[in-house]
Amino acid sequence: MSSNAFTPGIVPGRMAAEAYSEQFSDLHPRLDDHEALVAADRCYFCHDAPCITACPTDIDIPLFIRQIATGTPDAAAKTILSQNIMGGMCARVCPTEQLCEEACVREMAEGKPVLIGQLQRYATDHLQEQGIHPFSRAAVTGKSVAVVGAGPAGLSCAHRLAMLGHDVVVYDAQPKAGGLNEYGIATYKTVDGYAQSEVDWLLKIGGIQIDYGKRLGGDITLAGLRSAHDAVFLGIGLGGVNALDAEGADKDGVLDAVDFIADLRQAESFADVPVGRDVVVIGGGMTAVDAAVQAKLLGALNVTLVYRRGRDRMNASVFEQDLAASKGVRIVTHAMPKAVIGNGAVREIEFDYVDDAMQPTGQTLRLAADQVFRAIGQTLVGEDLPELDGRKIKVTETGRTSLAGVWAGGDCAAGGDDLTVTAVAEGRDAAMDIHATLTA
């Protein structure tokens, strides 16, 4: 990670110290008891609820909302967590406007869905703040499973396996567990150290050991894990960042957006994180929006998000796009980076405007920039991995790879959306298949 603290124009402390807490306050504060009851009362409790079908983890949404409505939020939390053990984080970061809430009958009839995400947070927070863990381990099976990666997929898999009685060792390259939940999500979405508190709560199931500072292909090998354990689950995420294909892209001030987000998440003080005056973010996904919004919140004067296609093709949801615009981020579409200009450090960046076929129109755009963030996709990094499908690990519906005894899920696996909730579902489903295999 690189803060570029010594690059001219990129400095910390652009705002008064007292402004940071307000800037980075909770994006969606938890509903109070009355607000939760009012929100729950809007649910039709559909028999064949389309919201369930739209949820990658198949949570029984009408049931948990009815449980909130009847004053039993802890029961609601157990309904949620039985399907999605990281339901608290997903309530904060899921694009619910594209999933369960988009499918809500209220949304289709009135244009205003039931607040499913906020109700899910209300229930899970209520239970977790009491230190309650509603699940217990089955009898110990004597089987050992290695889980590589302590992100959403890995932790979901580890918890389900531990609950079923297996002993689990989680190996992670970082000094903290959580993966993207800890290092890759905007700070204003997960305030007050929630990612770590959720991990601590999850580990109360018992039977899970986390071994930090262990990178696959360096400190540990897949062959070694297969020899030492009865099964292996790979939840290694995507460790590489796609290169910026533009002249001068190696200049100082051109950074990876994921590193910028991680620096901010791990900083002791927001005021310690340097940011430019004129910031350009290249990309159209959630990471691009998170980086752009946080640059603005840190005090950057001008922040422009540039994407090569139209807004309708952006991976970031309409809600995220509108959030960026509301914070003062300018969004430019149909533009591809052509050249990074500057004497050693970036001073400007030039773009070609392109048509829908990605062909230059002959028009260009030049933006002042002292800091440029790449958010143009990540790639799988590793050697001696199972068979790939394109640029990710090839898996079956239950996460089996081409290697016997090895499963995979989350962002590193082919086929799924790169969402926290999808990773949780894939980790859970792989765990069930691992269990069936080990106990057959």
**Nearest 10 degrees: CA dihedral of 154, 160, 161, 165?**
150
15 is a domain residue: no
Matching residue, tokens 């800037």: 23
367 is a domain residue: yes
Same domain for 257 and 373, yes or no, is: yes
DSSP 140: -
Distances (CA, A) of 411 to 56, 70, 80, 155, 423: 14, 38, 22, 14, 7
Domain CATH number, residue 278? 3.50.50.60
Same domain for 175 and 254, yes or no, is: no
139 is a domain residue: no
- Which token pair is 130? 């009491």
Residue 104 phi/psi, 5° resolution?
Answer: -60, 135
Which stretches within 70-206 are classed as H helix? 73-83, 87-93, 100-103, 105-110, 116-128, 152-163, 180-183, 194-202
Same domain for 194 and 104, yes or no, is: no
- Partner residues linked to 144 by β-bridges: 167
The 3-state DSSP class for residue 184 equals coil
63 is a domain residue: yes
Q: Which secondary-structure segment (H or E) carries 437?
A: helix 420-438
In DSSP notation, 323-355 reads: HHHHTT-EEE-SEEEEEEESSSB--EEEEEEE-
133 is a domain residue: no
Same domain for 124 and 159, yes or no, is: no
- Partner residues linked to 255 by β-bridges: 373
The neighbour count for residue 228, using CB atoms within 10 Å, is 12
Instruction: Determine how β-strand 371-374 pairs with β-strand 278-282.
Output: parallel
Best CA proximity match to 150, nearest among 236, 215, 219: 236
Same domain for 304 and 360, yes or no, is: yes
Give CA–CA dist 436/440, Å, rounded: 6
Best CA proximity match to 133, nearest among 72, 202, 83: 202
In DSSP notation, 62-91 reads: HHHHHHHHTT-HHHHHHHHHHH-TTHHHHH
Best CA proximity match to 409, nearest among 437, 432, 436: 432
Q: What is the pLDDT of residues 289-346, one digit of tens each?
A: 999 999 999 999 999 999 999 999 999 999 999 999 999 999 999 999 999 999 999 9
Give CA–CA dist 94/92, Å, rounded: 6
289 is a domain residue: yes
Same domain for 73 and 196, yes or no, is: no
Total domains in the fold of the chain: 3
Same domain for 345 and 384, yes or no, is: no
Last residue of a domain, one of 96, 128, 160: 128
Give CA–CA dist 141/94, Å, rounded: 34
Same domain for 255 and 302, yes or no, is: yes
- Which token pair is 413? 């696996």
Same domain for 229 and 248, yes or no, is: no
CA angle 317, 198, 266 (to 5 degrees): 75
At 337 the pLDDT is 97
Enumerate residue ranges in the chain where pLDDT < 70.
1-8
Distances (CA, A) of 243 to 247, 248, 379: 11, 12, 10
Same domain for 167 and 210, yes or no, is: yes
Domain CATH number, residue 68? 1.10.1060.10
Same domain for 246 and 373, yes or no, is: yes
386 is a domain residue: yes
9 is a domain residue: no
Instruction: Determine how β-strand 240-241 pairs with β-strand 348-354.
Output: unpaired
Same domain for 260 and 334, yes or no, is: yes
At 121 the pLDDT is 98
Q: Give the domain range for residue 79.
A: 33-128
- Which token pair is 381? 């990094």
Give CA–CA dist 73/126, Å, rounded: 7
